[in-house]
Amino acid sequence: MNHLIAVDWGTSSLRGALLGGDGAVLEEISVPAGILMVPAGGFASVFAQHFGRWQQATGALALIAGMAGSRQGWQEAAYCACPAGFADVASHLHWIEPGRIALVPGLSCEDRGVPDVMRGEETQVFGALDLLSIDGARMVLPGTHSKWVQVEQRRITGFRTFMTGEMYALLRQHSILARTLPETDGELDAAAFRRGLVHAAESASLLHAAFSVRTLALFERLPSGCMPSYLSGLVIGEELRAQGLAGASREMVVVIGSPALAARYQMALETLGIASTTIGAQATWHGLSAIAQQLEQSA
């Protein structure tokens, strides 16, 4: 396999890696040049500024995952419909410069007449399949908008977005609950986190469970300092409840994310008796590498 310039161009940051023929990371950069910071028409020059040197030195193909392929990005790469695997994505690349620079399309799926979308997570999922040498799994990519992804026979068959991280911020900063919360989150209090988690997992809806932040404070049953951890448990507990995992404890969930967030989800899954394994940010480079390999095979 040839060299590859692997790029993860998100909303708020731009990361890239020069991969050797064996997939090893030869060099890596990370700059605060997310798509929201790029002026209109400026994508080509920002790209050249950061990756031109690698292109000249190696002549390598550049594959770009993430929001750079959205309507607000470099060019819009149309969503690839699920079910979709490596080959489907490789054949739907959006070429900026044929053979030199391509955007990886995001995926869309449909559930009862309502679409769902992802951009960038599909690449991490493909990377995780590669890293774990598995063909199928239930995966979660936690974050502002968590994605729960079902993979069968190396294809993403469906997924669902949960506005978990954003909901935490909304309740934390803008709701009546903000009055009973301290100014800063502080360290995670594991007991309070688990208490919130279990309460939400056993409740019918976060609309009700969230009110417990207020009543536990009113009756002085939980110190203010523990409340951010308790609230974090509530929103993650709601997300997990909605997966219907409770009875499926034999299933292994793959958690893909930054170490801190992945650890929090692992703690949450463990509390509910669900086994899990964790994959970090390297998943993106492996995913892009796998797509490039697919491209070489089809060529």
d(CA 120, CA 178): 32
Place of tokens 């030199």: 100
Output 128 or 216, the one with its CB closest to a copy of itself: 216
Minimal distance in Å, beta carbon 207 to a copy of itself? 4
d(CA 43, CA 262): 31
CB 122 within 8 A of CB 106: yes
Output 152 or 202, the one with its CB closest to a copy of itself: 202
H helices within the chain, ranges in order?
43-58, 86-91, 121-132, 164-174, 190-202, 206-209, 212-218, 227-241, 259-271, 282-298
Minimal distance in Å, beta carbon 254 to a copy of itself? 19
Output 40 or 207, the one with its CB closest to a copy of itself: 207
d(CA 127, CA 124): 5
Tally the residues of the chain: 299
Minimal distance in Å, beta carbon 137 to a copy of itself? 20
Residue 83, SS3 per DSSP: coil
Minimal distance in Å, beta carbon 234 to a copy of itself? 11
CB 79 within 8 A of CB 106: yes
Minimal distance in Å, beta carbon 256 to a copy of itself? 18
| Share in percent of the chain as helix, strand, coil (round to 5) | 45, 25, 30
Minimal distance in Å, beta carbon 244 to a copy of itself? 7
Among residues 181, 170, 179, 182, the alpha carbon closest in space to that of 206 is found at: 170
Minimal distance in Å, beta carbon 227 to a copy of itself? 14
Minimal distance in Å, beta carbon 117 to a copy of itself? 6
Output 86 or 230, the one with its CB closest to a copy of itself: 230
Output 72 or 297, the one with its CB closest to a copy of itself: 72
Output 115 or 273, the one with its CB closest to a copy of itself: 115
Q: Which residues bind a copy of itself (CB under 8 A)?
A: 112, 114-117, 145, 160-164, 166-167, 170-171, 173-176, 199, 202-208, 210-212, 215-216, 218-219, 221, 235, 238-239, 241-244
Output 134 or 170, the one with its CB closest to a copy of itself: 170
113 class by beta-carbon count within 10 Å (0-12 exposed, 13-18 middle, 19+ buried): exposed
d(CA 76, CA 64): 12
d(CA 148, CA 179): 32
Output 81 or 263, the one with its CB closest to a copy of itself: 81
